[in-house]
Amino acid sequence: MSSRALSERPRLRSPGRMKYDKARQTELLLLPERVVELNEAAGAILRLCDGQRTIAQMIGELETKYGQSGLENDIVEFLAASAERGWIE
Amino acid sequence: MRPVSLPYALTAELTHRCPLRCPYCSNPVELQKRENELPTDMWLNVLEQASELGVAQIHFTGGEPLLRPDLELLVRRARELDLYVNLITSGVGLTDQRASQLAEAGVDSIQLSVQAASAELADSIAGFPAHELKRQAARRIRAAGLPLHMNVVLHRANLHLLEDIVELCASWGAERLELANAQYYGWALRNIRQLLPRREQLQEAEAAYARAQERFGHRIELLWILPDYYEEFPKPCMGGWGQLSLTVAPDGRVLACTAASDIRTLSFENVKERELAWIWRDSPSFNAYRGYDWMPEPCRSCERRELDYGGCRCQAFLLTGDARAADPVCVRSPHRGIVADRVHAAAHGDAGLSAYSYRGR
């Protein structure tokens, strides 16, 4: 998982879901046995893990959204850590 | 006082009624009768209040939640409120029609219990011929397009069959299996002589768990829930009292955990009389063991208090009569002898199945 190809299309681990939580004003990842409170960047990345987009597309969209370039390493690293934790597949 | 955090999860015990009579049932010894159960409109109101309060996940359980004909309605409303919906069931009563209705209503995940790998042993543990019905339920859950998650409570009579149980669940198509060593509250505490395994049994089971990981780990996610009587330090129960989650009992009482009604020295507020947010933030029962000020020694000055919060309040009450006491599982507890005596009795006792004290239906 640590060397994900940019052509891979990660998705949230079934049956996981994302939720924007109004009470805490934060993104949550909901899994059968746990709830994970995410920071804004983590939430933004996981929201794009829909099994449709490639990692390369996700990087492009996020760089546009935040008006930044050079996010590739951070995003790839975060996705590897997310797979390790069983958040995505 | 630190600010009160918001609860992530709510366990909705829709009923205590159940066709099974497992001797380690997590329901209290005093079971609520049908006529005391909250009606549909009150449960809908609880879901709405929970969502407002910050709850993100609902566990519908019982008893057997399928005995409530309004289950699908409650699931649908919970999903409309964008709550994550888990259903915890024995599988008894899960017809093809109900499985597809529940899937359509938006259930996110179903957890099906199993008692053992063979029908004969499983049915004698459950006190009801449920095993074959569970096999059918597993098939129906998958046919409805839902992921199958399973759980088994491990104890003296099935611990040596752990690998068979894992194999069975894998063959039923489970994606995840919780191997939960029995915890000794309510019914399980009554039956502790029949349930508590010997230390050697447990060590063999840990080796079997490692082998099962090798054989089935690629197909099924396995989770091992520790048997706390054989640990040196207590579990960080519930992530701290009134920190992460709450339970609404069938009669509407709001509890810090499913076993908390065993603590006779506390009185619990009811959703019929109070708002959920007030109960969570301000009620005496939810504030009783928040933070560290309530702790006596040895917890008060212990460096582990931030790791385990002194362990489990229910276990402390059940074994010592004082819910503030250090969990007697802890080697630093002056009451550790109570747990040690039971472990010693397990090493020498040899109680058979017939001696279970079964719960009522």
Query: Could you report the per-residue pLDDT of B273-309, keeping only the tens digit for each?
Result: 999 999 999 999 999 999 999 999 999 999 999 999 9
Please enumerate in sequence order all residues whose Cβ is within 8 A of that of B71, keeping only pairs 6 or more positions apart, or say none.
B14, B60, B65, B87, B102
Residue B120 has pLDDT above 60, yes or no: yes
Mean pLDDT confidence for B184-209: 94
pLDDT at B351: 58
Interface test with A, best of B58, B60, B82, B243 (most A CBs within 10 A): B82
**Any idea what the Cα angle at residue B17 is, between residues B243 and B85, rounded to 5°?**
45
Nearest to B188 by CA among B295, B262, B129, B276: B262
What are the φ and ψ backbone dihedral angles of B100, each rounded to 5 degrees?
A: -75, -35
Distance CA B91, CA B138 (A): 8
Closest among B93, B58, B181, B51 to B361, alpha carbons compared: B93
DSSP states of B97-112 as a string? HHHHHHHHHT--EEEE
Q: Which pLDDT does position A39 carry in this prediction?
A: 94
pLDDT of residue B157: 95
- pLDDT for position B359: 87
Residues of A with CB under 8 A from a CB of B: 14-15, 17, 19, 21, 23-24, 28, 30-33, 35, 86
Please tell me which residue, B356 or A27, carries the higher pLDDT value: A27
In chain B, % of residues over pLDDT 70: 98
- Write out pLDDT tens, residues B38-56: 999 999 999 999 999 999 9
Does residue A1 surpass a pLDDT of 60?
A: no
By Cβ distance, the residue of A28, A33, A86 closest to B56 is: A28
Does the pLDDT at position B171 exceed 90? yes
Token pair of B27 as six digits: 């329901």
Distance CA B117, CA B120 (A): 9
* b (16+ CB within 10 A) / e for B83-105: bbbbbbbbbbebeeebbebbbeb
* Residue numbers in A near B147 (CB within 8 A): 14-15
Residue B360 — very low, low, confident or very high, per pLDDT cuts 50/70/90?
A: confident
Q: What is the DSSP letter of B86?
A: E
pTM of the full structure: 0.94
Tell me: the pLDDT tens digits for A21-42?
999 999 999 998 889 999 999 9
Please name the residue ranges forming H helices in chain B. Answer: 40-53, 71-80, 96-105, 119-126, 131-143, 162-171, 186-190, 192-195, 199-216, 276-282, 284-287, 305-308, 313-320, 336-348
- Of the candidates B31, B45, B4, B30, the residue with the CA atom closest to the CA atom of residue B270: B45
What value does the mean pLDDT take over residues B243-272? 96
CB within 8 Å: A32 and B146: no
Residue of A nearest to B109 (CA): A32
The answer to whether residue A89 scores a pLDDT higher than 70 is yes
